[in-house]
Structure 1
Amino acid sequence: MTVGLWAGEPEEVPADLYEQVAATARAPRWRAAFAPLLPQDDPDPATALGRLIAVNALLLAGALHDPTAGSRPCIVIPYERHVANHTSTQTELARFLGLSVPGPGQVSRPAARASAAVDTTFATTGRKDVLVAEITQKTAELVTMSVTMTLSRARQSLASETTATVAHWLTGDDLYEVHEPTARSSRRVRPEPVRQRTPEPAYRQAEDVQWRNLLVSNAEMAEFLTMLHAGGAPNSRHGTNLFVCPMPHERGGRLHYDPAGRRWRVSSGYESHPAYWVTWIGAALMAAWSGARLPTRAEALRATKGARAHNADYLVGDVCPVAEPGLGDREIHHAVGNVQIWCADGPEQPEAQPVQRYLFGAAWNTPSTDEAVTAIRSRYLLGSSRGVGIRLVRDPRTTDAARLGAWELAHRINRWTDAVDNSARTTPGGLDRLLLSTLGS
């Protein structure tokens, strides 16, 4: 499992990823337990990767054994065991969920559908049957040694049941075939993108509010992030990503900060694709900069009633451009599908608890049934993923005059981050509510 978490050499890990996590480990909440596990000693890439693997597993196991969270039924299925025996693990999971598994020939396959041309290099539509780690033998040994050393240090500060669980999880290195890395270009050829004119962004009436016809694109998000950075509000603060999570392109990241040019850029060919890996904070700021707001969950339900999802259920393997084929300028593209969207409201939480905001709709990597689209789900304000983006709405008579400048928004967000730095005794819920009032949300 250890060497199988990263395909390719550890040198592909973003240079600042270890430093970001190590800085976070020094926050008051984590310092005693995790700072010793992530020393800021400029480790080589293999050592850094091993430490991150171990800490990630320790965090998951710690949450599983947290006595304050109450007893929660769970099941742990190692990735290696699932690859080696799909049928057994599916049966085990079905039994845990109380479901019946269809027998051979009982599952009807949907008719083939045309799919958009996108980069499917990292699509998750296939099935893996062999455990292969594309990594040198020397690097594999360094990663494994780093994991072992980190776990040994963890035993000095963390609960024994947590470290014992992780020691059980982090096994299975011997099950992998270790191969020398191969050039990515030799594995798969990226298909030529479909050239389609992107309509101009505009607002169309949908029920009681005006919906923007297009999801927010990567190009728009990059422009806004550049302006926000110039205004004095960088994306990262003490190792925490505030607006977007800048994942590497190989992991679905399309937005990248260029320190030399002091601007955000988009992976070539993805300018017109919808932005994802966006936090609720980034979505709310983008809305304010656009003279708009995020829709409430109720508004989204009303506006999309009866709408059919376009690009969901892993049909393509990634998002496709914001312009939906066959729709004109005056129609709402991807009313459902492509990405889920952040909402302006969320479930009621106790004052001391972190604030959550609803997600709505379907994404390229989620089911598109009515039950799935309308299911109630929410996420914390700093959460982000490869399937959640931004849809903007406006109230009647709202115009571009309502837009807030990037400098004003940077000033507001910096007021909040300064308050966070100086409020060690304030609860997470209190800080989140301070943010909402600062942004006027």
Structure 2
Amino acid sequence: MKRRARSAALLLLLAAAPVPGAGADLDTLRALTYNIYYGGQDHDPVFGRDEEWLGVIRTLDPDLLFVEEANGWLPSEQDLLAAYVESLNASFPSEAPYAGFIGAAPAFHVAIVTRLPVLDFEAFGEVRVGEELIDISHVFTHATLDLGADTAHAIGVHFKSGAARADREREARALLAILETLPPEETVWIGGDFNSYSPDDLVPGGGLEPDYAGGALPADVKGWEPAGYLRNEGYEDAYRSSHPSTPGYTQNTLSFLPPGTMGPVQRVDFLFRSPGSAWRLDSAEPVTGAPGDIASDHYAVSATYVHRPWTGVGEVAARAAAPASLRIAPHPAGAGSRLSYTLPRSGPVRLLLFSPSGRLLATLADRSDPAGTHEIVLDPAAAGARGLPPGVYFLRFESDRSAETARFIWLGGDEDR
């Protein structure tokens, strides 16, 4: 994959010199993603709020901070990145100093602020995926981090806003192409405003759906491809892993509510971590309440990770078998494709087929399986979904210990040919 910034002017690095060895012996890492709304400066409908969003960051004291809508932060603008980094460092005089890195975009910039040593930084205004050159509307940023014994990566994202689902899907494929260039043994954190939903939140009746009656846009408008593609690659959604049954809405905040709404209505801000990492999730929360209620139109999302290497044959085996690891082959799927999954222990299993709008189309399996790997024929017609047109669909795996959603492409079955 060839990568390049939109132009030389769209890649900018601002950094205080990181403290040598600041990442050595690190055993806990706090990450935070925050869309601060127009650079955190005066803008309708709330003015004079820079101390509020800075207060949110100071309260959480993150080691790694993803900032979306970092407008005014470039030296060619108001040079606010340098000013805010200086302010944060003054708040934590005994900590390793923060350094700030920013990728410039035509509309909304994306910044990474961290007290971890940064080995390299790059920004993406466009990404080539095969023969397609994909434009990144708000720019992606990538910092390579020195964690002492480990090298890790932080990728800040802000997917295109509005009714631009197709553009967000292309940007999601561009993100996957970037991830494919990184060493698989190195941890990757991805944080940002996805401007879309997670497929895990769209199961009808699951209690996690956006508040459509309160003003959240329909799922077929917002889409779920960015989070869905990452989930399909095994990336861990920090909040949903910590809170499998609580919606965790992040937008809109109380001071930015559209007329007639009563509270936040959708979860569009995410922190993801790559699979197999020794950095294990400890906790994750949306940062609601004061001062975040008036700081931005988004609530920040925080997560804490603890470094615990996988040790022992039993733990490594359990780690490998814990997720259902849904696999479809061949894919794209059609007549004759088979779906496989692995269970660490015996128990009940359900496999559900959903449409792109989140409507349950069929129950493909509802049974009890022993531990081990299992395989079934992917046959929607036999489960009652005859004449399923070609397109993108979702499979939901549910057991008594885990749940997993996978996106797949259906080419049509024999009854459609």
Please give the range of the TM-score, normalised by the shorter of the 2 chains: under 0.3
Higher relative contact order (CA 8 A, sep 6+): 1
TM-score norm. by structure 1 comes to 0.22
TM-score norm. by structure 2 comes to 0.23
